[in-house]
Structure 1
Amino acid sequence: MRHGKTFGLSLFLLAAGTGGALAQATVVTPLQQQYITAYVAQNPVPAATYGSEFDPTVGAVVPETVVLNQFAVRQEENRNWDGGQDAVRSMLYFVTPTQQTVLVEPGTRRVVYVMR
């Protein structure tokens, strides 16, 4: 099974309403992590601000006040990267004040992965 399909399947199951426990089963492959890390470094965004009542952990719902960002894949990247970019592009993200990248499911605003 290709890595992108694994990531996409996990997100599908999460979106199907199987609960927060499955959110921890979301798999981000090393290649996807490499892409995300490079993307965020090349396209810096301000760190999100949120109150102490929100803890960006898997399954948490991101407050509406937190600005979520999209991954925009350039056409040349489409030719050079085959690591599940469609799965990554479907996600939103924000960067914490401690510089962790947090992946968020768009429809629910639930945290599905925190890059450490």
Structure 2
Amino acid sequence: MKMHLTTAAAGLLLFAGAGAVAAQDVVIEPEQETVIREYVHKQPLASIEVPGVKLSVGSVLPDTVELHEVPNVKYRYVVVDNQTVVVDPGTRKIVQVLQ
């Protein structure tokens, strides 16, 4: 009986952890990513510096950073340290760093 409870508890923790990770992931549909990439290519921005912010998915950009709209897409973009980042305007979290 003890073995079954331990296995069940481990499975539950694993499932809960996977759910927490999945909730943080934002998946941009391929069609939207294409629209964003084409728009960014046609509307280049000057690169800015944001001291103290690591450019990675999940990092939050401060309110002082101006986010730029991509028509018909819910995400915004900005160029930081010569890297284009796609940002969720509601949370200001980086959802993708374009290569």
1:102 aligns with 2:97: no
Structure 2 distance, partners of 1:105, 1:21, is: 16
Over aligned residues, Cα RMSD in angstroms?
A: 2.3
Structure 1: distance between partners of 2:23 and 2:48: 25
The answer to whether the aligner puts 1:64 opposite 2:28 as a matched pair is no
Residue pair 2:50, 2:80 contacting (<8 A) in 1 also: no
> After superposition, where does 1:1-116 map in structure 2 within 5 Å?
22-23=23-24, 25-51=25-51, 53-73=52-72, 89-98=73-82, 100-116=83-99
Alignment partners' CA distance in 1, 2:59 and 2:94: 5
| Cα distance in structure 1, aligned partners of 2:21 and 2:63 | 19
Alignment deviations for residues 18-55 of structure 1 (CA, whole Å, 9 cap, x no partner): 867633x322344333221210111122212211x111
Aligned residues, how many? 81
In structure 1, the gaps of 5 or more residues are: 1-17, 74-88
Query: Is the Cα–Cα contact under 8 Å of residues 94 and 103 in structure 1 kept in the other structure?
Result: yes
Amino acid at match of 1:110: K
Structure 2: gaps of 5 or more residues:
1-18
In structure 2, C-alpha distance between the alignment counterparts of 1:21 and 1:62, rounded to whole Å: 21
- TM-score, normalization: structure 1? 0.57
Report 1 or 2 for greater relative contact order, CA contacts < 8 Å, sequence distance ≥ 6: 1
Q: Percent identity of the aligned residues?
A: 33
